[in-house]
Structure 1
Amino acid sequence: MTAGATVPAAQSRRWRESDEARGLALISPTLLYAIALLLLPVMIVILYSFWSQDYLTIDRTFTLKNYQEALFQPIYRDLFLRSLSISLVVSVTTVLMAYPIAWYISFHGGRNKNLWLFLVTIPFLTSYLLRVLSWKVILGYEGVLNTGLMASGLIHEPITSLLYNSNAVVITLVHSWVAFAILPIYVSLEKIDRSLIEAGRDLGDTALQSLIRVVLPLSLPGVISAFLIVMIPTVGDYVTPKLVGGKDGVMIATAIQVNFGRAANWPLGAALSVTTMVLVSAAAGMIVLGFRALVRSVR
């Protein structure tokens, strides 16, 4: 019995001294921290979404009523569609603006690449709220843009459609996220072997053909990362639609905030949150597959 008990003890001691055990010991605090701050709150929100609430009383009886309301109520359905459409427009516009900048820094930045990257990130050293409010000053009825257009004689009275609509939300979000799109695209471009571009040029490719057939496919991971970095948070953005969106720029985050706040309907707010996460995840997956199919067709 003593000899038989010694074998498992020796195996346990050897495992505790192994590289696998040391690795698990190193990542365990981080893993527990991530579970506590990321997974646990999500699980609580999911749990709340299957309950119901009457004034301040939570009924913990399992129900799908919140999801039925979130998916089939016209107001929430319209908010989901508007949020996804605004987010997609913002993501496409941001990537289209960021790619030429990242390409120029990577291929023509020379010894000043770090300086260019620093200049790109300078506006983002200020508060996000201040950057959003600055667009109110620019796009407002008596803002910088209207004042400049009137001073130049191009218009005779201020344009009222610049602010408090979905276009203002798109413009503000693009400006707020463009730097976050430039950086992953730049990193992806930096990893491209320049000899591949030279080989394509030697085989008769023009500069545009090299960009489409060599540079763009090889930089696809950065483009996808930039697209997702912009799309996922902008779907749930609350501050920008609240400040510059008006009634035509309201997004789903506003409805979630109302249900967790004034409406005091936490289960419905949780169901809206979970539905948003699922829709965004599905949209992100389809977009990634679409990017890959596009690149294969180009090749």
Structure 2
Amino acid sequence: MDQDRKRGLTLIAPPLIYALALLAGPLLAILMFSFWTQDYLTIDRTPTLANYREALTDPIYRTIMLRSLWISGAVTLVTVILAFPVAYYVSFRVRPDRKSLWLFLITIPFWTSYLLRIFLWKVILGYNGVLNSSLTGLGLIDEPLTFILYNANAVIITLSHAFAPFAILPIFVALEKIDRNLLEAARDLGCGAVTTFFRVTLPLAMPGVVAALLIVFIPTVGDYVTPEQVGGSNGKMIANMIQTQFLGLNNAPMGATLAVIAMMIVTVISLAVVWFARRLAGGRT
């Protein structure tokens, strides 16, 4: 046992050190910076909670943080709600020999640069873009729509498209694991299609749904590029403020403080989602 344990420790030591160096190290540095203060180029390393007090009381930071959570929550709900029917169709309606082709088609957006996809949405949603030009040409609107670009709506649309494959794939995997005999048994017991879906299919697919929720929610809270390109002044998120603190205002401690607060809020929300999903699954069983 001692030899096996030593051999195991030897095998995991390199990746463990690598993970600590590239993940734990930067996080620790950010945490330390959040307790310091900076006056232009001079950093005062005296521990203080001044940054946290300012971040939690200043209405600007609070507004941007709430907007970030609202946008990310909207993106998550829209993406998962639209992704579930796609995953369900591929899992239950597509022939087994064609499922790989469908999954291949779903991952096609990954072939294109993320930044290029954002620019394409700017072209589609622009004042004289594809959408407005089409609606104007069809006579459905008299003047171009202005609420679909450079605001939170544009950020939600763009992020929902970008993260759609991340939601489809885990839901599809969860649906594939469902024993079809259970669905047949539910129908034999008199359950209709809707009842079978809500009492059998959906509860068994909840692990995939929860995974999709977390996979979409966590990175979208900290997304920087999309709000910068299509968000305008009313679509900025917390990552944009963090970038401004580090590079624009030369206040790295405040930027680090905002990053720490954002990570804590995301962690609490994610744990709450997992807890609620487990309670819901336990109640149904």
TM-score, length basis structure 1: 0.93
* CA distance in structure 1 between the aligned counterparts of 2:105 and 2:26, rounded to whole angstroms: 37
1:57 corresponds to which of 29, 42, 49: 42
Q: Percent identity?
A: 56
* CA distance in structure 2 between the aligned counterparts of 1:153 and 1:296, rounded to whole angstroms: 53
* CA distance in structure 1 between the aligned counterparts of 2:4 and 2:190, rounded to whole angstroms: 52
1:195 matched to which residue of 2? 181
1:228 lines up with 2:208 in the alignment: no
* CA distance in structure 2 between the aligned counterparts of 1:243 and 1:41, rounded to whole angstroms: 27
2:59 corresponds to which of 74, 86, 89: 74
Tell me how far 1:298 sits from its aligned partner.
Answer: 5.1
* CA distance in structure 2 between the aligned counterparts of 1:273 and 1:282, rounded to whole angstroms: 14
1:109 lines up with 2:81 in the alignment: no
Q: Mark the runs of 5 or more structure 2 residues left unpaired by the alignment.
A: none
1:162 corresponds to which of 105, 128, 148: 148
* CA distance in structure 1 between the aligned counterparts of 2:274 and 2:132, rounded to whole angstroms: 40
* CA distance in structure 2 between the aligned counterparts of 1:273 and 1:284, rounded to whole angstroms: 16
1:273 lines up with 2:259 in the alignment: yes
1:151 corresponds to which of 137, 153, 169: 137
Tell me how far 1:293 sits from its aligned partner.
Answer: 3.4
1:118 lines up with 2:66 in the alignment: no
Tell me how far 1:230 sits from its aligned partner.
Answer: 0.3
Tell me how far 1:289 sits from its aligned partner.
Answer: 2.1
Tell me how far 1:265 sits from its aligned partner.
Answer: 0.4
Alignment of 1:1-299 (within 5 A): 15=2, 18-110=3-95, 111-297=97-283
1:58 is paired with a residue whose SS is: strand
Tell me how far 1:292 sits from its aligned partner.
Answer: 3.0
| AA partner of residue 58 (structure 1) | I
Contact kept? 1:212, 1:298, Cα under 8 Å: no
Tell me how far 1:294 sits from its aligned partner.
Answer: 3.6
* CA distance in structure 1 between the aligned counterparts of 2:166 and 2:283, rounded to whole angstroms: 28
* CA distance in structure 1 between the aligned counterparts of 2:27 and 2:78, rounded to whole angstroms: 31
* CA distance in structure 2 between the aligned counterparts of 1:79 and 1:206, rounded to whole angstroms: 46
| AA partner of residue 133 (structure 1) | F
* CA distance in structure 1 between the aligned counterparts of 2:236 and 2:224, rounded to whole angstroms: 9
TM-score, length basis structure 2: 0.97
* CA distance in structure 2 between the aligned counterparts of 1:289 and 1:212, rounded to whole angstroms: 20
Q: Mark the runs of 5 or more structure 1 residues left unpaired by the alignment.
A: 1-13
The worse-fitting range, judged by mean Cα deviation, of 280-289 and 241-250 is 280-289
The worse-fitting range, judged by mean Cα deviation, of 165-174 and 150-159 is 150-159
Paired residues, number: 284
* CA distance in structure 2 between the aligned counterparts of 1:194 and 1:24, rounded to whole angstroms: 42
Tell me how far 1:297 sits from its aligned partner.
Answer: 4.9
2:248 is paired with a residue whose SS is: coil
1:53 is paired with a residue whose SS is: strand
Q: Which protein is bigger by CA-based radius of gyration? A: 1
Q: What is the CA deviation profile of residues 57-102 of structure 1, one whole-angstrom value per residue up to 9, with x for unaligned ones?
A: 1100000001111111100001111100111110011100111111
Query: What value does the CA root-mean-square deviation take over the aligned residues?
Result: 1.1
Contact kept? 1:260, 1:266, Cα under 8 Å: yes
